[in-house]
């Protein structure tokens, strides 16, 4: 990737006119994009754009800017583990233009004051948009509702509420939360973990836990909550989003809930699409995560569920930790893995290279769908992107899914049949907000934990060679990443 | 021989037999008036205990001293985290002291595995959480072999709280490796999910298994399990899974009764059974020293030649 020329009167990284040459939107045929004034001003072959900075992007795949519904930025409270600035630098390098910052900070993001603070820190850092998630209950204690309406009407305009890390286990409280957020089209993102069934739980309960003598976290503890909450969401007609789905049984339950027409969405993490619980045999807490790594059969079911749209999106659950919280015995270590900088590569490895999704499908699962669930306004991650990402996104408009037929891959078929060429999509995308990422699809890179932009070093992929490299990220027409580095 | 002894699952048959054979020689030392070998003179063995266990610590201490090693007892009450010092910091401290072997007892499963990544010396797992207790299994196998002449081909029944037992896990792997057929007996609540992958038969009926058992190994059952609904009452547990005189009578005449201690008399084992001639409880303690001498000797550079 090389660039020539410059916009008059400002350095290249200011929002200005950018002429991206030879990009392949959603992996389709090469076209030029002209970014101007924060939007995609023109799209087509052999554009000439006087005064624009030219970026030779031959062969790079263009995707709408990625959206992460599940990021832990740790600020305020654990700035030693991550800050809004360091976490959003990691996000931009990973191709994200929006991250939803989880509420389990210190203090907890359970008031308008805290969510506005996080939102402002994100805006000031400028690497990507930060949309704070509000806590469902005061202090994540699961006993009283937090002031959800105040957070919704704050400058942060919170729409996603979650006690992530804790399950809203009280059925009545969960029902009330689901009902209450209807007033501002909010969604409750549930960390599905039945607390009594998972006391002291350390890893997936099964053959490996039996051998290692680590208290088990049964799949049923996740599935029981998903079943209950889906029933509640159906009963009161509210929106439920299920965080980090990790078991084959959960995929079945989600498929059933969607078949009822209930407004239930779900996410899966990159690590649950790749890693399995036999890694725990090393007792290395880098593999400790909540929900825990499951079995190969679960991984296969999660991939299939993501491919057929039963699971709507990929979310990182990026969870940075200070070294002393990981370099310890397994049981004392905190759960979590960093993931922003590796998410797209893992998605390429597990979904694209396996043929389960194409680039349009990947764009849907990592940008369009999470944007829609999180209530992002239109633009490249909203209505316009539906067109860019192909027919399958339009087919899921309104947050409802048609129940996928078991074994079929409707999203992939839609991507091919309804949206045969990238150029067609691009002609529709002129005028969209210029949030996009350019990916080198053939590059491979080796993960170096010490070289991550995140303060967290707790990546389970250290030393692994991963496919796909983010070369550039644009946020409203302004590059946040160029040549694979923070711009 | 391997550098560490962390579990019996990764202990091969040849190495296991080497430990037992070496322990036979070590046992002869106990019969001498001067119970000491010069083998580990100048070597430092650290007993790193994060959990109180006077029995195991004393056994390791005696084993190391009989081999003329310098022994340091390093006890950390409670977890390392509550003390504010991490396991890694402790490892670095031991490293600076020049420990040749670290004998580690820890309430967290896998802690000795982590320690082994951070120290140059050998790590001996002296019991980690509910994971493993390899020297206990080795001394049990040693005891069986001494009493019955072999391990291979025997039917060994392990009874009690298998779910929470590191002794059970280590014995399952080791005894299987040595060719015994193992049956675990417990109320279904105290058998781990995933046990189907173990090389064992599972039974919920002690009386059905006793007549064909060559060895019955009783596990301690902690009373607090009752409050967590693993079983209704102590009395019911004892009736269904306790070893009393009637059940002893149902066993073959040559069959052994074993217990790793400490026993809960009247709960999993009746006093008259524990004290009977069929019981190896006291022998197991004596054999523990011989086996731990053998392991220390072999890990700290002993050869396949018996000294």
Tens digit of each residue's pLDDT (9 = 90 or more) over A13-45? 456 899 999 999 999 999 999 999 999 999 998
Mutation for B interface: A199, A200, A203, A212, most B CBs within 10 A: A212
B30 confidence band (pLDDT: 50, 70, 90): confident
For chain B, what is the mean pLDDT? Answer: 93
Provide the pLDDT for residue B302.
Answer: 62
Interface test with A, best of B83, B108, B134 (most A CBs within 10 A): B108
**Residue A282 within a domain:** yes
Q: Output the pLDDT for position A408.
A: 37
* Residue A445 shares a structural domain with residue A341: no
pLDDT band, residue B307 (cuts 50/70/90): very low
pLDDT digits (tens, 9 = 90+) for B144-176: 999 999 999 999 999 999 999 999 999 999 999
Domain layout of chain B by residue ranges: 13-133+285-299, 134-283
In this structure, what is the dihedral angle of CA atoms A189, A195, A200, A205, given to the nearest 10 degrees? Answer: -80
Q: Which segments of A283-340 does DSSP mark as H helices, in order? A: 296-307
- Which contacts qualify for B58-64: CB closer than 8 Å, 24 or more apart? B59/B285, B59/B288, B59/B289, B59/B292, B60/B103, B60/B124, B60/B126, B60/B135, B60/B292, B60/B296, B62/B289, B63/B289, B63/B290, B63/B292, B63/B293, B63/B296, B64/B40, B64/B101, B64/B103, B64/B292, B64/B296
pTM of the complete model: 0.91
- Looking at domain B13-133+285-299, which of 3.60.21.10, 3.30.2310.20, 3.40.50.1370, 2.60.40.10 is its CATH number? 3.40.50.1370
> Shortest CA distance to A190 belongs to which of A227, A158, A132, A229?
A229
Task: Give yes or no: residues A42 and A149 share one domain.
Answer: no
**What is the overall mean pLDDT for chain A?**
89
Share of chain B above pLDDT 70, in %: 95
Q: Please tell me which of the candidates A206, A214, A218 has its beta carbon nearest to residue B109.
A: A214
Phi, psi of A145 (to 5 degrees): -65, 140
Residues A200 and A149 in one domain: yes
Would the pLDDT of A426 be above 80? no
Q: Does A463 touch chain B (CB under 8 A)?
A: no
CA–CA separation, B26 and B24 (whole Å): 5
Q: State the residue range of the domain holding A364.
A: 64-373
**Is B113 one of the annotated active-site residues of the chain?**
no
Tell me what the mean pLDDT of segment A469-482 comes to.
Answer: 97
Whether residue B303 is predicted with pLDDT greater than 90 in this model: the reply is: no
> Could you give the C-alpha distances from A119 to A37, A123, A190, A316, in angstroms and in order?
23, 6, 22, 19
Residues of A in contact with B108 (CB under 8 A): 329-332
Contact (Cβ atoms closer than 8 angstroms) between residue A23 and residue A60: yes
* Residue B294 clears pLDDT 80, i.e. is over it: yes
- State the helix-helix crossing angle for A248-259 and A219-236, rounded to 10 degrees: 10
Count structural domains, chain A: 2
Contact A217, A267 (CB under 8 A): no
DSSP designation for A143: S
Residue A442 covered by a domain: yes
Judging contacts by C-beta atoms under 8 Å, the chain B residues touching residue A295 are none
Please give the ipTM for the structure prediction. Answer: 0.93
Dihedral of CA A56/A58/A64/A67: which sign?
negative
**CATH code assigned at A303:** 3.20.20.140
Q: What is the fold, at CATH topology level, of the domain defined by B134-283?
A: Rossmann fold (3.40.50)
Q: Looking at B35, B41, B83, B150, which residue is catalytic? A: B83
Cα A396 from Cα A389, distance rounded (Å): 12
Q: Would an 8 Å CB–CB cutoff place B130 in contact with chain A?
A: yes
Question: Mind listing the pLDDT tens digit for each residue in B74-123?
Answer: 888 754 445 557 889 889 988 898 999 999 999 999 999 999 999 999 99
Chain B residue numbers with beta carbons less than 8 Å from the beta carbon of A324 are 86
Provide the pLDDT for residue A46.
86
Q: Which one of A211, A214, A279, A322 makes the best mutation probe of the B interface by having the most chain B beta carbons within 10 Å?
A: A211
> For the segment B177-233, what is each residue's pLDDT rounded down to a tens digit?
999 999 999 999 999 999 999 999 999 999 999 999 999 999 999 877 777 899 999
**What phi-psi label fits residue A477: left (phi over 0), alpha (psi between -120 and 50 degrees) or beta?**
left
Q: What is the DSSP string of A2-16?
A: EEE---TTS-TTSS-
Kindly tell me if the per-residue pLDDT of B305 is higher than 90: no
* A367 lies in the same domain as A442: no
Query: Measured between CB atoms, does A281 come within 8 Å of chain B?
Result: no
Is the minimum CB–CB distance between B193 and chain A shorter than 8 Å? Answer: yes
pLDDT band at A4 (very low <50, low <70, confident <90, very high): low
């Amino acid at each position: 990737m090389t660039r020539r020329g410059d916009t008059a009167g400002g350095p290249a990284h200011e929002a200005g006119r950018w002429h991206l040459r030879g990009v392949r939107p959603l992996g389709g045929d090469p076209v030029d994009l002209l970014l101007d004034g924060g939007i995609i001003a023109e799209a087509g072959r052999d554009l000439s754009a006087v005064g624009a900075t030219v970026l030779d992007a031959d062969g790079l795949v263009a995707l709408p800017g990625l959206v992460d519904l599940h990021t832990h930025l740790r600020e305020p409270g654990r700035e030693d583990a991550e800050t809004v600035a360091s976490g959003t630098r990691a996000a931009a390098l990973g191709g994200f233009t929006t991250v939803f910052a989880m509420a389990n900070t210190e203090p907890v993001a359970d008031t308008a004051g805290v969510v506005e603070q996080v939102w402002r820190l994100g805006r000031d850092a400028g690497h990507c948009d930060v949309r704070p998630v509000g806590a469902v209950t005061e202090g994540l204690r699961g006993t009283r509702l937090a002031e959800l309406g105040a957070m919704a009407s704050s400058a942060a305009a919170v729409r996603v509420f979650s006690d992530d890390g804790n399950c809203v286990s009280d059925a009545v409280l969960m029902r009330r939360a689901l009902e209450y957020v209807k007033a501002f089209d909010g969604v409750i993102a549930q960390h599905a973990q039945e607390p009594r069934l998972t006391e002291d739980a350390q890893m997936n309960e099964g053959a490996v836990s039996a051998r290692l003598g680590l208290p088990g976290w049964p799949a049923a503890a996740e599935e029981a909550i998903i079943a209950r909450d889906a029933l509640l969401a159906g009963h009161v007609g509210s929106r439920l989003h299920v965080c980090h789905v990790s078991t084959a049984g959960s995929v079945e339950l989600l498929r059933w809930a969607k078949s009822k027409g209930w407004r239930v969405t779900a996410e899966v993490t990159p690590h649950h699409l790749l890693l399995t619980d036999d890694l725990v045999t090393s007792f290395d807490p880098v593999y400790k995560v909540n929900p825990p790594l499951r079995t190969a059969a679960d991984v296969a079911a999660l991939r299939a569920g993501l491919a057929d749209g039963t699971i709507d999106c990929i979310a990182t659950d990026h969870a940075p930790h200070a070294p002393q919280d990981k370099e310890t015995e397994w049981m004392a270590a905190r759960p979590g893995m960093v993931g922003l900088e590796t998410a797209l590569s893992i998605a390429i490895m597990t979904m694209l290279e396996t043929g389960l999704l194409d680039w349009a499908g990947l764009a849907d699962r990592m940008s369009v769908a999470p944007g829609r669930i999180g209530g992002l306004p239109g633009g490249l991650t909203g209505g316009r992107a539906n067109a860019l990402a192909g027919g399958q996104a339009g087919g899921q408009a309104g947050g409802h899914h048609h129940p996928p037929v078991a074994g079929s891959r409707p999203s992939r078929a839609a991507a091919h049949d309804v949206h045969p060429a990238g150029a067609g999509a691009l002609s529709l995308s002129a005028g969209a907000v210029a949030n996009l990422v350019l990916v080198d699809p053939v590059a491979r890179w080796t993960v170096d934990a010490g070289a991550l932009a995140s303060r967290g070093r707790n990546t389970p992929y250290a030393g692994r060679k991963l496919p796909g490299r983010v070369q550039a990220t644009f946020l409203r027409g302004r590059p946040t990443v160029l040549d694979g580095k923070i711009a | 021989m391997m550098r560490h002894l962390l579990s019996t699952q990764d202990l091969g048959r040849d190495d296991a037999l080497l430990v037992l054979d070496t322990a036979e020689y070590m046992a002869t030392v106990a019969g001498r008036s001067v119970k000491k070998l010069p083998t580990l003179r100048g070597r430092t063995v650290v007993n790193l205990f994060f959990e109180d266990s006077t029995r195991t610590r004393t056994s390791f201490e005696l084993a190391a001293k009989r081999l003329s090693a310098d022994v340091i007892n390093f006890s950390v009450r409670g977890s390392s985290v509550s003390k504010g010092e991490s396991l890694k910091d402790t490892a670095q401290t031991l490293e600076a002291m020049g420990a040749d072997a670290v004998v580690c007892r820890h309430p967290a499963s896998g802690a000795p595995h982590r320690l082994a990544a951070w120290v140059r010396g050998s790590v001996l797992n002296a019991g980690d959480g509910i994971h493993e207790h390899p020297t206990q299994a080795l001394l049990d196998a040693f005891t069986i072999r001494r009493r019955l002449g072999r391990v291979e081909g025997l039917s060994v029944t392990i009874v009690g709280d298998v779910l929470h037992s590191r002794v059970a896990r280590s014995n399952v792997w080791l005894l299987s490796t040595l060719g015994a057929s193992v049956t675990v007996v417990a109320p279904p609540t105290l058998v781990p999910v995933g046990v189907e992958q173990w090389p064992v038969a599972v039974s919920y009926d002690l009386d059905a298994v006793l007549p064909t058992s060559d060895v019955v190994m009783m596990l301690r059952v902690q009373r607090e399990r009752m409050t967590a609904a693993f079983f209704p009452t102590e009395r019911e547990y004892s009736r269904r899974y306790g070893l009393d005189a009637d059940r002893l009578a149902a066993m073959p005449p040559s069959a052994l009764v074993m217990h790793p201690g400490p026993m809960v008399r009247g709960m999993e084992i009746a006093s008259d059974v524990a004290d009977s001639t069929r019981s190896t409880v006291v022998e197991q303690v004596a054999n523990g020293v011989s086996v731990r001498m053998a392991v220390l000797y072999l890990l700290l550079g002993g050869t396949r030649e018996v000294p």
